Amino acid sequence: MKVQQLRYLVAVSDFGSVNAAARSLGVTQPVISRSVRAFETEYGVAVFGRLGRRLVPTEAGRAVVDAARDALAAIDAVGETARDVGGQCELVIATTPTNGLLLTAALSEIGRCEPELEIRVCRATDTGEVLKKIQGGEAELGFSNLIPGTDEPQSTWKPVADVEVVLVSPSGTDLPVAVTWDDVVSQPLIVPPSGSGRRNLIIDTATRTTGTMPRISLATEDRGTWIAAAQAGMGSFLSYSCVVTMHEGVETRPFDPPQIVTVGFIHRGGPISGVAARFIDIARTAVERIPSARR
């Protein structure tokens, strides 16, 4: 028996399918299928059966999954205790480039408070990839926009603030003071590269709202390039109002009606390390101080 097998069993039980469990953990479907079959063969127990299209624990499987949860909680508790008493030296945070800008002050503050701590920011392209890095153990904390209605039973979501989405355009662009999605699709857009969930969200929202496919002028993950490209007149992009202030050569416009998203932390269910908890507290205060960010 391996610890990872227990995580797979719990994930399949929570999500009701091997495919969904695999996506949540950032592994392939065959890996989980083989692991579950090997476990069932080794212990002579059928852990899952089908109820319609959903995989559900059998009567015996429920006891196995419950025991797996208890075992994983105990294992996680050992790790957290060891980090706390030994003095954790690293904190890994997964975030997207845009959301990461909101953490600049918090990262600086915890660096001053805990100079021995090594902080590593693990970049992700969208919220889905942040979740995969958390569930796969690559990062202890994630910071992202929190999607309403998202069902991630293995994750804990901690909202921090509401931020306003604005359209950033070259100075002198002929647009109203407050824009709609019709105005957005009238402009050449600067967006993340293909495959990014954020890019897909922008294109899907614009197309669904206006019936028009946006025109893409530049695709890059580098947010600094977005500013430079807009200053050069290449197009407009979407960002948070609180991270695009005081840039020459561009104009920001709110939406009518306002477009508000909630940002916050994500971590795997169960206890987190003391340093992660302290960072969340520091970040809450730091983000709330940013103009245009509100609880």
Domain boundaries, the chain: 3-84, 87-143+262-288, 163-261
Same fold, 3-84 and 87-143+262-288: no
Whether 110 shows a pLDDT value over 70: the answer reads yes
- Give the model's confidence band at 198: pLDDT under 50 very low, under 70 low, under 90 confident, else very high: confident
Q: What is the mean pLDDT of residues 246-259?
A: 91
Say if residue 120's pLDDT is above 80: yes
Q: What share of the chain is helix, strand, coil (3-state, %, to 5)?
A: 45, 25, 30
For residue 237, pLDDT beyond 90: yes
Query: How far is the C-alpha of 191 from the C-alpha of 237, rounded, in Å?
Result: 7
CA distance 21 to 33: 10
Q: Which CATH number is associated with domain 163-261?
A: 3.40.190.10
The DSSP call for residue 151 is: -
Q: Which two tokens stand for residue 212?
A: 């028009």
Q: How far apart are CA 133 and CA 126, in angstroms?
A: 11
High-pLDDT (> 70) share of the chain, %: 91
Of 204-218, 222-236, 258-272, the one with minimum mean pLDDT is: 258-272
Would you place residue 271 in the very low, low, confident or very high pLDDT band (cuts 50, 70, 90)? Answer: confident
Tell me which residue of 112, 6, 26, 157 sits closest to 67, measured CA to CA: 6
> Spelled out in words, what is the top-level CATH class assigned to the domain 3-84?
mainly alpha
Quote the pTM value: 0.67
**Collapsed DSSP state (helix, strand, coil) of residue 251:** strand
Higher pLDDT, 272 or 178: 178
- The answer to whether domain 87-143+262-288 has CATH 3.30.565.10 is no
Q: Map residue 214 onto helix, strand or coil.
A: coil
pLDDT at 149 over 60: no
C-alpha to C-alpha distance for 29 and 21, rounded to whole angstroms: 8
